[in-house]
Structure 1
Amino acid sequence: MIVPIKGKVKFPITLDPTVWIFDDRKVEFEHAFVNEHVTVDEDESLKQTSQRWEREISEQVKPPVNRSIKKYEREKMLSSSYVIPLEDFLNHAEISASATEAVLIRELENVTIPLKDLFNSYFLFSKDGKPLKTDGPVHLYYKDGSNKHDPITHIKSVSIQ
């Protein structure tokens, strides 16, 4: 149930989708493709971004993880479907500047997508509160929702080319 990211990267990494259920970056599947036009105060957004940057630089922060999960949240996690954005993982792998595409290694036929599309994607890792054992370990969905009803399934690893 692991997904390696390898190829033209400085740091090949291995993703374990089974632990993402506790990650603060996860998004409920039902909310992932909702295009909400919320007006955000630019000063507040800039302040939050700068605080996160300072924290990451000064503390070498590890991925955010839920430490206290309430009972109702636990029940929700055991019945909901979740996706996680790929951008943070790809940034940590430090992809080579010469890379242009990603090959999604699958059981059946490999799929090649532009690297920019991979950055703008989610991995579905939990469906109805359960890991994707039969057609997983992950499915790829584009953030724009263009393949919401036809995701790329059976992904075993990602090779950056």
Structure 2
Amino acid sequence: MESIVMLSGNVKYTITLDPSVWIFDDRRQDLHTYFHEQQEEKDTLEEYTKEVSKHWDREIIEGAVVPPTLKTEKKYLKEELLTGTFCIPFKPFLTNAEVSENAKNLVIETVDGMVTIPLTVAEKMVLGFSKDGKPLREDGPIHCYYGDGSNYENPIKNVVSFKIE
């Protein structure tokens, strides 16, 4: 099974998606909690500014010494990555591909056939790429979940490619 998935069609740039590296992506989210938590758009500049401010405040108060809690946080993060089930939003990939204004649908090609969905639904979609810390080898490399979680129990599996029409 090929783990590379192409996003092509009515786009300015054809994008190659490699789910095997998404585990290192900061946009990854826990799939088990994704549909249960309130999703909100994040302002990355504002988030970065707050994080830098928090770090600056900590250095002023505590000095440049690494607090002992950071070691346990790293251990927890490693444990989470080795056992977690993760997804990533699909919208950034559509943005990078620069979808044409006249495009209407996303065609998901699977081993079993084609699934066509409107682009408005595709923009809210998330792509599952890991289950219990392992890549989706048997019915992957990607599982497609609608943004509202309506197909959480039965996602679109065995994805071969995405095509914008």
Q: Same fold (TM over 0.5)?
A: yes
Q: Is contact 1:103-1:159 (8 Å) kept?
A: yes
1:108 aligns with 2:98: no
Provide structure 2 residue ranges, at least 5 long, that are not aligned to the other structure. 50-72
Q: Give TM-score scaled by structure 2 length.
A: 0.77
**Contact 1:32–1:143 (Cα < 8 Å) also in 2:** no
Superposed displacement of residue 35, structure 1: 3.8
Larger Rg: 2
Residue from 149, 154, 161 that aligns with 2:158: 154
1:12 equivalent in structure 2: 14
Note if contact 1:84-1:124 (Cα within 8 Å) is conserved in structure 2. yes
Aligned to 1:48: 46
1:34 counterpart residue number: 36
Q: What corresponds to 2:75 in structure 1?
A: 71
Output the CA distance in 1 between the equivalents of 2:113 and 2:44: 43
Q: Which residue of 1 aligns with 2:137?
A: 133
Give the % identical residues.
43
Task: Rate the CA distance shift 1:46–1:141 in 2: closer, same or farther, 3 A.
Answer: closer
Q: 1:117 to 1:37 in 2, by over 3 A?
A: closer
Cα RMSD (Å) of the superposition? 2.3
AA partner of residue 74 (structure 2): K
User: May I ask how many residue pairs the two structures share in their alignment?
Assistant: 138
Structure 1 gap ranges (5+) = 39-44, 52-68
